[in-house]
Structure 1
Amino acid sequence: MNIAPQPIDYNTESPQPLLREIPESAAYPVHALGPLRSAVEAVQGMTLAPVAIPAQSALAMASLAVQAFANVETLGGPRPLSLYCLTIARSGERKSACDAPLLSALRDFEREKSGDYRTEAQAWENAFALWEGARDRILSEAKKAKGEKATAAQADLEALGPPPAAPTPPDRTVSEPTFEGLTRLYMRAAPSLSLFSDEGGQFLGSHAMNSDNRQKTLAAFNDLWQGNPIRRTRAGDGHITLFGRRLAVHLMVQPTVARAFMSDPLAADTGFLPRFLICEPASAIGTRMQANAKRDDTSLAAFSGRLRAILDRDMPMDPATRELEPRTLKLASEAHSLLAGFADAIEVAQAPRGDLAHITGAASKAAEQAARIAGVLTLWHDLDAAKVEAAEMADAIGLAQFYLSEASRLASAAIVSAEIDRAENLRGWLLESWPYPEVTARDVVQYGPNALRVTKDARAALGTLEKYGWLAPMEPGTVIRGAARKEAWAIVKAARDVV
């Protein structure tokens, strides 16, 4: 192609920057939080942050507190009460300030138990040294023994019994685990743990999520959400299987980090992303006037007191293996009917061209998410409850509907983002490489960026640039480069750079 460069006319009016338009989030249904509502509103009143941020923290914290005690009945069988939450908010939205008061009782619990653990660990080290010394003596004597003495040595070993059980570390939260590190912690620590981070990008960018480990890490987290055992096979360590472990997750991430993660096909295709309750509330920055701030220490104290009471309860588990032995939290008849109706409505919306056809991964899990949320709300109110009632299920369905609307909104925004990216690619090519002052769809298909060598994609990108003022439609029949064109655009170049 031999094209002589031609001058491009400058317009006096600057085109508009290409923007990734994301519709605003729906209002968070704070009324559906039931026993968590007052604490969430107290944190929001104190921080003036979007209410969805403390709501996510409260749900995740409640999930950690109760997930060891029961599984909840769902339409597909019993499932864990573990919730995975992802909160998207820019820097300055007071994510840490929302998290801290709801985590304070957990931090106090871990701090207090750390002192007890150090004392118990010292006592265990002494007891283990005595046990190990006795075992070594028996083995030493057994090597020299014959006949009856060898039989007696075997009996002595059996009488010695297993080594004393090591004390359980008090840690209930981790921030940047590898799968191996999390497995080792589950071998020693409580079987109910959490991954909470107000800088979730540190985890998403950690060693656990690099290209070599990402698929393994995602699969492991999927198994934990599902309640499946942890299985690890490594040279030197052999094969390890841990049953009855639970994990609650709350990651707070900035939008740029979230966009990159949500656009990763592996995160969606493995089912990892659809397991999250995702929200990106509208920013409150610029509206948080201190005259509107208010404190409700009573509600926060009640939340902390309830959390501490649950943390102090012994978990139902096998003392030898630390495998949890949760009971099944049943659904009352009306609660079951509500959940079934919700599931049916979601199923219809997933049909081709349905409202949820673009997020079938998240939609297919919506009913189970509702059951999990209902179970968390039920046990937070009464840890010994035998079943989920209709009121809790109705609230949980309202919350699940909100999170599903967020998943739909953000998935649609990702599609828009991809369209904008293609248009930006075309804009750069037109202004930097294309030598003519006008362009046709055929030009783009023949000579443009590789990603736009399909007519449909080229027309879409041209339409976007026209919308934002970077292209001006020309009259049909205009002669361009010696031929009349049915459709063509004049290229608009700003008199100054437009970012």
Structure 2
Amino acid sequence: MPNANVLKLEREGRDNSRFLVDPQPDLEYPIEALGPILGEAAIAISGAIQAPKGIAAQSVLAAATLVAQPHIDVGRGDTLRSPVSLYFLTVADSGDRKSSVDKIALAPITHWQTQRQAEIEANAPKHRAAMEAWQTTYEACRNQFKKNQNHGKDALSSLQKQLEELEALRPSEPKIPHVLIQEPNSEGIYGHLRDGLPTLGLFSDEGVGFFGGHGMSDDSRGRTIAMMSALWGGDSITRSRANTTDSGQLIGRRLSAHLMVQPVVAKRILSDELFQGQGFLARFLICHEKTMAGTRFLGPDSLSANIFEVPAYDTYSTRLSHLLKTPLPVCRRTGALEPRVMQIKRNALAEWVEGYNQIEAENLEGGEFARMRASASKAAEIAARIAAVLAFIEQAETIERSHVQRAFVLIKYYLSSTAFREEEAFYEERDHLARELLEWIVTQSGGVLHSNDFKRISRRLFNRKAADIRKTLRHLETLGHVDVTEHGRKGAPVEWTVIR
């Protein structure tokens, strides 16, 4: 149902269609570029669930990235090295079965987590016994020193040496058994990476819980964005608190993310000034395909199909399960990951450089990506990360030229998708303000607005910022809703009249 403002403008006789955004372009996810393991698994999941292929592709690639990120980094030339971590944003209408798709794509990971939890619980009695024995030995050592009459320098040195040796034998606490989290703040991410495994996945089929949760409150969102941006880049993360035991620095940690949201939430996210200004959204690979609702008819054998018995899915699941059971390359002293570097070399590097240059050329004013430089500037690096994940999952010895080519096919899709989503969010937000300002002029100012009256405009609309009001008036002028009817001494417009 149209809102009251739109109805009022229509009754006034103005052409409300001038506010509309261009319809969604026909973007089809290039699922074949995911290759024989991930691509075929995504097709199988999409067919079994009857969900858009892009949703299945996002879920499968995100799961594979989470599994790969602790084991490999990607290198280009002698100096460029990056994690392979990736952030995904999937936009899907309610009823598009995003939860069902994600559940199947993540099944190897959730099964592995369940196994880890069971192992920790089974070993709990043994751990408690080992800890009790250690504490008894530790206390016995201290008590022996207290009983000794000689507390001289040599005795203290001997005690210190014994205690150091005992500390090295202290039974380690079991790590947090899961790597999937849903609604963390920066403190939660830090604590999980400190007390759990050094690799983590922020995955949620209801991403509004993250974007609208505690981690994105006014007090926390800046810290959460900064920490996630640092982890995306492979940088260390720090936490400073008055209590020194809660402070520290973590190095060699990895985070991937896949957040699924509905279109109305996506529009708010993509028009958020902080997300845009901090370059946070530029790190996300965005997918929004058209719904399949109304075409998902069942056949005689539809309900008897079992995705877990489909060979393509079994190959995918087996590969991820094997990697999940592979010991992590962790430094015993620092707990940091020490992943091996998969280099893009020779022909593959030449292909990557060509793709980089093509994108960079379109960043010029008037170029295809000029309005989305933040995303485009990271696109070639993200392509390198994707190429490495594809090669790693496919058990290739090196990153081949074909991996890079396929990665850039995917990047072209993501750039096109991001360009449309950002433009849609920009224009819809601007149109929303323009509609309300136009109605305010008509109902509160008699159809004429003077710059002296800016202070009368509702703080809810523009917080009384003259620059924002003038921008919106220019937009209304461009759309043919107002005319400038008076200019000031310096030539700037000072009065606007609604076109009747």
Asked if TM exceeds 0.5, the reply is: yes
1:222 matched to 2:229: yes
Instruction: Give the structure 2 partner of residue 322 of structure 1.
Output: 335
Q: Distance in 2 between matches of 1:353 and 1:129?
A: 70
Residue among 33, 37, 40 paired with 1:38: 40
Q: Distance in 1 between matches of 2:300 and 2:439?
A: 46
Q: Distance in 2 between matches of 1:300 and 1:115?
A: 25
Deviations 1:196-220 (A, max 9, x none): 1000110111111111111111111
Instruction: Give the structure 2 partner of residue 482 of structure 1.
Output: none
8 Å contact from structure 1 (residues 420, 464) kept in 2: no
Residue among 433, 452, 463 paired with 2:444: 433
Pairwise CA distance, 1:90: 1.9
Pairwise CA distance, 1:155: 3.4
1:410 matched to 2:421: yes
Q: Tell me: higher relative CO, structure 1 or 2? Use CA pairs within 8 A at least 6 residues apart.
A: 1
Instruction: Give the structure 2 partner of residue 478 of structure 1.
Output: none
Pairwise CA distance, 1:292: 11
Kindly provide the amino acid, as one letter, of the partner of residue 232 in structure 1. R
Kindly provide the amino acid, as one letter, of the partner of residue 362 in structure 1. S
Distance 1:10 1:53, change over 3 A: closer
Pairwise CA distance, 1:10: 9.2
Q: Distance in 1 between matches of 2:217 and 2:9?
A: 47
Instruction: Give the structure 1 partner of residue 208 of structure 2.
Output: 201
Pairwise CA distance, 1:275: 0.8
Gaps of 5+ in 2: 1-7, 458-463, 484-495
Task: State the number of aligned residues.
Answer: 460
Pairwise CA distance, 1:143: 4.5
More helix by share: 2
Kindly provide the amino acid, as one letter, of the partner of residue 266 in structure 2. A
Kindly provide the amino acid, as one letter, of the partner of residue 132 in structure 1. Q
Distance 1:14 1:127, change over 3 A: same
Q: Distance in 2 between matches of 1:457 and 1:177?
A: 37
Instruction: Give the structure 2 partner of residue 495 of structure 1.
Output: none
1:416-495 alignment runs, 5 A limit:
416-435=427-446, 443=449, 457-464=472-479, 491=500
Instruction: Give the structure 2 partner of residue 47 of structure 1.
Output: 49
SS of the residue 2:240 aligns to: strand
Deviations 1:48-68 (A, max 9, x none): 222111111011100011111
Q: Distance in 1 between matches of 2:186 and 2:12?
A: 57
Pairwise CA distance, 1:305: 1.4
Pairwise CA distance, 1:371: 0.3
Instruction: Give the structure 1 partner of residue 98 of structure 2.
Output: 95
Deviations 1:109-129 (A, max 9, x none): 111221111122332222122
Instruction: Give the structure 2 partner of residue 155 of structure 1.
Output: 161
Distance 1:11 1:275, change over 3 A: closer
Instruction: Give the structure 1 partner of residue 247 of structure 2.
Output: 239
Deviations 1:385-407 (A, max 9, x none): 44210011100010011111111
Residue among 61, 64, 73 paired with 1:71: 73
SS of the residue 1:364 aligns to: helix
Residue among 301, 313, 326 paired with 2:326: 313
Distance 1:40 1:292, change over 3 A: farther
8 Å contact from structure 1 (residues 22, 413) kept in 2: no
Distance 1:264 1:460, change over 3 A: closer
Q: Distance in 1 between matches of 2:194 and 2:261?
A: 29
Pairwise CA distance, 1:39: 0.8
8 Å contact from structure 2 (residues 363, 370) kept in 1: yes
Kindly provide the amino acid, as one letter, of the partner of residue 335 in structure 2. R
- Identify which range, 219-228 or 410-419, moves more after superposition: 410-419
SS of the residue 1:290 aligns to: coil
Distance 1:387 1:57, change over 3 A: same
1:251-270 alignment runs, 5 A limit:
251-270=259-278
1:250-399 alignment runs, 5 A limit:
250-291=258-299, 295=305, 297-382=310-395, 385-399=396-410
Deviations 1:219-275 (A, max 9, x none): 111111111122222222253222211111100011222222222222122221111
Distance 1:47 1:63, change over 3 A: same
Percent of aligned pairs with the same residue? 31
8 Å contact from structure 2 (residues 271, 429) kept in 1: no
SS of the residue 1:28 aligns to: coil
TM-score (norm 2): 0.84
Instruction: Give the structure 2 partner of residue 477 of structure 1.
Output: none
Distance 1:348 1:116, change over 3 A: same
Kindly provide the amino acid, as one letter, of the partner of residue 200 in structure 1. G
8 Å contact from structure 1 (residues 452, 458) kept in 2: no
